[in-house]
């Protein structure tokens, strides 16, 4: 509930709030299954501000983790993570890499698990004695080279860094091992001594980052993770970028889609999010015709008839019924952990929830589609008061107030400003 109190998307338990997403489950699970068997997928998620794009991709991330995928979510921005700087995107990818059992960054644990799996494979072959440490290390290195042969041809440094990490672990050189993990994660300014130790030069560049991503997919597959879900969130921010930056970013996205189509990233599921203006407007995808062609999707009048296997899927956002259903789900979740569950259910009953949803939407000019964040934040506040104060009745004691400082930019644009005195009312005489 802490995330809802702050007005942010929770990082876990999202199935409990996934109102209206059931229709996507079958198509997404099929695509995850294709990735798990060595395929690659791409999906663009479109929706207006407040339609739940970030919630959707985190919900998808939870489904992917249940299938033992690794997951990473990257916020695209012109200053922090420009899309055309793929080396920076790769660095953010590894910084936020997570699995069902490992929080970000899980890169070192994945590398360690990979070497462990290589050792297990070597020992299972029966040709090396477990007590012969030197022979075991040599056999593991040979197996590593075979597993990474395709990646090493494109980026020898990736295999060299793994080899150096393995040797540093065996020779009890923790500082060098840590530095080489940083290099594998795309971090700049790795100590020169560590790079000399591993026989690598420079940092990962634009093209080296793509090869490193292929290497990471190999590592994930070999240590039991059948795929990697990569989310590039909020691509609509590209519309506000400088023209040259925007066009480079769009071309980088086109390059990624082509690499996926050419089977260069087996085990990758790439998901992007953006507003309809980004996909259809003059400052977004339409500026690069080849990209627009790859993302083109026909949408019919009724969203119920959408093709969920198409390149783009759309989120239609909330209506009053969905908002009410979301309130019911959150109330039950809250009540299960409340000091007095019965009081919460009685005073925040179904009728109150419906009226509360209407009131919050009214504060935003009736735009229900952008109301869920504020609705949930205010609802949790109401239930906190009910749970903490036996005499608190929200129908009598709670006065819904919405201040500009607690709203996002889009919410402020819709917020209905109410006069607090007769002097504030402007008359057109």
Same domain membership, residue 210 and residue 167: yes
Q: How confident is the model at residue 420 (pLDDT cuts 50, 70, 90)?
A: very low
Last residue of a domain, one of 263, 297, 314: 314
In the predicted structure, residue 129 carries a pLDDT above the cut 70: yes
Q: How confident is the model at residue 421 (pLDDT cuts 50, 70, 90)?
A: very low
Q: How many domains does the chain have?
A: 3
Q: How confident is the model at residue 29 (pLDDT cuts 50, 70, 90)?
A: very high
Same domain membership, residue 136 and residue 213: yes
What is the pTM assigned to this prediction? 0.84
How large is the average pLDDT for residues 389-394? 95
pLDDT tens string 89-109: 999 999 999 999 999 999 999
Same domain membership, residue 214 and residue 112: yes
In the predicted structure, residue 419 carries a pLDDT above the cut 50: no
Q: Residue 364's pLDDT is what?
A: 73
How large is the average pLDDT for residues 139-146? 86
Same domain membership, residue 155 and residue 210: yes
Same domain membership, residue 247 and residue 215: no
Q: Residue 276's pLDDT is what?
A: 94
Q: How confident is the model at residue 12 (pLDDT cuts 50, 70, 90)?
A: low
Last residue of a domain, one of 314, 346, 365: 314
More confident residue, 80 or 361: 80
Last residue of a domain, one of 314, 332, 357: 314
Q: Residue 425's pLDDT is what?
A: 40
pLDDT tens string 162-215: 999 999 998 999 999 999 999 999 999 899 999 999 999 888 888 889 999 999
Averaged pLDDT score across all residues of the chain: 88
Same domain membership, residue 344 and residue 282: no
Same domain membership, residue 130 and residue 50: no
More confident residue, 407 or 65: 65
What percentage of the chain carries pLDDT values higher than 70?
Answer: 91
Range of the domain at 266: 20-99+225-314
How many CB atoms lie under 10 A from the CB of residue 224? 12
Same domain membership, residue 39 and residue 90: yes
Lowest pLDDT segment from 47-51, 52-56, 279-283: 47-51
CATH at residue 56: 3.40.50.300
Same domain membership, residue 187 and residue 330: no
Same domain membership, residue 94 and residue 232: yes
Residue 1 lies in a domain: no
Q: Residue 426's pLDDT is what?
A: 47
Same domain membership, residue 342 and residue 302: no
pLDDT tens string 252-298: 999 999 999 999 999 999 999 999 999 999 999 999 999 999 999 99
Same domain membership, residue 413 and residue 360: yes
């Amino acid at each position: 509930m802490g995330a809802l109190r702050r007005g942010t998307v929770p990082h876990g338990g999202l199935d409990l709030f996934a109102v209206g997403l059931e229709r996507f489950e079958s198509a997404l699970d099929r695509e995850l299954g294709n990735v798990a068997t060595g395929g690659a997928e791409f999906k663009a998620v479109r929706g207006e501000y407040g339609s739940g794009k970030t919630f959707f991709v985190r919900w998808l991330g939870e489904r992917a983790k249940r299938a033992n995928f690794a997951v990473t979510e990257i916020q695209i921005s012109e200053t922090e993570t420009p899309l055309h700087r793929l080396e920076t995107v790769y660095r953010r990818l590894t910084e936020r890499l997570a699995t069902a059992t490992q929080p970000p960054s899980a890169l070192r644990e994945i590398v360690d698990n990979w070497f462990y799996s290589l050792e297990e494979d070597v020992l299972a072959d029966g040709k090396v004695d477990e007590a012969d440490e030197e022979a075991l290390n040599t056999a593991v290195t040979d197996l590593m080279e075979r597993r990474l042969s395709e990646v090493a041809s494109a980026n020898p440094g990736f295999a060299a860094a793994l080899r150096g990490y393995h040797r540093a672990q065996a020779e009890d050189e923790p500082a060098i091992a840590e530095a080489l993990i940083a290099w594998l994660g795309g971090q700049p300014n790795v100590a020169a001594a560590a790079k000399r130790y591993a026989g690598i030069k420079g940092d990962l560049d634009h093209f080296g980052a793509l090869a490193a991503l292929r290497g990471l997919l190999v590592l994930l597959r070999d240590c039991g993770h059948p795929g990697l879900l990569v989310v590039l969130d909020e691509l609509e921010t590209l519309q506000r970028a400088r023209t040259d930056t925007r066009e480079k970013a769009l071309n980088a996205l086109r390059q990624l889609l082509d690499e996926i189509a050419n089977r260069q990233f087996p085990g990758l599921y790439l998901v992007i999010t953006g507003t309809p203006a980004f996909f259809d407007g003059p400052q977004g995808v339409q500026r690069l015709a080849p990209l627009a062609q790859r993302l083109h999707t026909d949408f019919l009048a009724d969203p119920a008839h959408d093709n969920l296997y198409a390149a783009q899927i759309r989120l239609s956002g909330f209506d009053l019924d969905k908002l009410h259903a979301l309130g019911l789900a959150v109330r039950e979740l809250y009540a299960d952990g409340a000091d007095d569950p019965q009081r919460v259910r009685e005073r925040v009953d179904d009728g109150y929830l419906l009226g509360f949803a209407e009131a919050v939407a009214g504060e935003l000019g009736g735009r229900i589609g952008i109301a869920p964040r504020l609705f949930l934040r205010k609802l949790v506040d109401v239930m906190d008061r009910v749970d903490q104060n036996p005499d608190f009745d929200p129908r009598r004691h709670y006065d819904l107030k919405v201040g500009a400082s607690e709203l996002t930019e889009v919410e402020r644009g819709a917020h209905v400003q109410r006069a607090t005195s007769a002097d504030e009312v402007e008359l057109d005489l």
